[in-house]
Amino acid sequence: MEAKPVVIGVAGGSGSGKTSVTKAICDRFQNRTVLMIEQDSYYKDQSTVAYEERLQTNYDHPLAFDHDLLIEHILTLLKYKPIEKPVYDYTMHTRSDKVVHVEPKDVIILEGILILEDERLRDLMDIKLFVDTDADIRIIRRMLRDIEERDRTIQSVIDQYVNVVRPMHNQFIEPTKRYADVIIPEGGQNHVAIDLMVTKIQTILEQKTFL
């Protein structure tokens, strides 16, 4: 049997520190090839929808994601074949015409708020992580990101958090914690948890090498 890449799912609420955990793991595997796939790249194409309707998109709902395409791409990477990853345009609220060529790697990290929500995705993962961070920290991080990177106003971020992000988190994201193999409090600052994950990933890599 041929060895396959290790697939790790990193879930958690918006602003929880998922990216910090992912980068910390990647930094520890500089001698191996590691690939990060962001769930945010797989928001559904809305080019056939009027712009005014796109403005109402609920990006924190499971139906916002094109998981069929994401699963297809993961299965392709598991065969050590490249993919063309989509690029989402947040200014136009739809998928852009650009793609990113992605070569397969030994370790694939799937990162996103609802990466554990779809059973089909969970079944592809060797390790499932949930980054658990207090809500007040998450909203501050999200506010800074949306203002600096997405040209949002403070009021619009607050309104979206109260009306969409918080209820969606409670309804869809928080419940996926039960699917996690490991829950990591405080994200990338939890060095003990990251050390344990790195050791586990190394063990799986070694086992797959000798299959």
The model's pLDDT over 168-182, given as tens digits with 9 standing for 90+, comes to: 999 999 999 999 999
Per residue in 73-91, pLDDT (tens digit) is 999 999 999 999 999 998 8
**Residue 164: what are its φ and ψ, rounded to 5°?**
-125, -60
Is residue 44 assigned to a domain?
yes
Query: What confidence tier does 208 reach under pLDDT thresholds 50, 70, 90?
Result: low
Query: What confidence tier does 135 reach under pLDDT thresholds 50, 70, 90?
Result: confident
Is residue 55 assigned to a domain?
yes
Determine the Cα–Cα distance for residues 113 and 12; give it in Å rounded to an integer: 5
Per residue in 93-120, pLDDT (tens digit) is 999 999 999 999 988 999 999 999 999 9
**Arithmetic mean of pLDDT, 18-40:** 85
Confidence at residue 189, expressed as pLDDT on a 0 to 100 scale = 77
Domain count, the chain: 1
Is residue 118 assigned to a domain?
yes
Determine the Cα–Cα distance for residues 5 and 77; give it in Å rounded to an integer: 8
CATH number assigned to the domain comprising residue 122: 3.40.50.300
Is residue 1 assigned to a domain?
no
Residues 57 and 80: beta-carbon distance below 8 Å: no
Confidence check: pLDDT of 32 > 70: no
3-state SS of the chain is CCCCCEEEEEEECCCCCHHHHHHHHHHCCCCCCEEEEEHHHHECCCCCCCHHHHCCCCCCCHHHECHHHHHHHHHHHHCCCCEEEEEEECCCCEEEEEEEEECCCCEEEEECCCCCCCHHHHCCCCEEEEEECCHHHHHHHHHHHHHHHHCCCHHHHHHHHHHHHHHHHHHHHHHHHHHCCEEEECHHHCHHHHHHHHHHHHHHHHHHHCC
**Residue 185: what are its φ and ψ, rounded to 5°?**
-75, 145
Is residue 189 assigned to a domain?
yes
* Residue-number span of the structural domain to which 185 is assigned: 6-209
Confidence at residue 122, expressed as pLDDT on a 0 to 100 scale = 97
Half-sphere exposure of 188 (CA within 13 A, CB side): 13
Is residue 80 assigned to a domain?
yes
Query: What confidence tier does 1 reach under pLDDT thresholds 50, 70, 90?
Result: very low
Per residue in 149-204, pLDDT (tens digit) is 877 888 888 888 888 889 999 999 999 999 999 999 877 678 888 888 888 888 88
Residue 157's CB: how many other CB atoms inside 10 A? 19
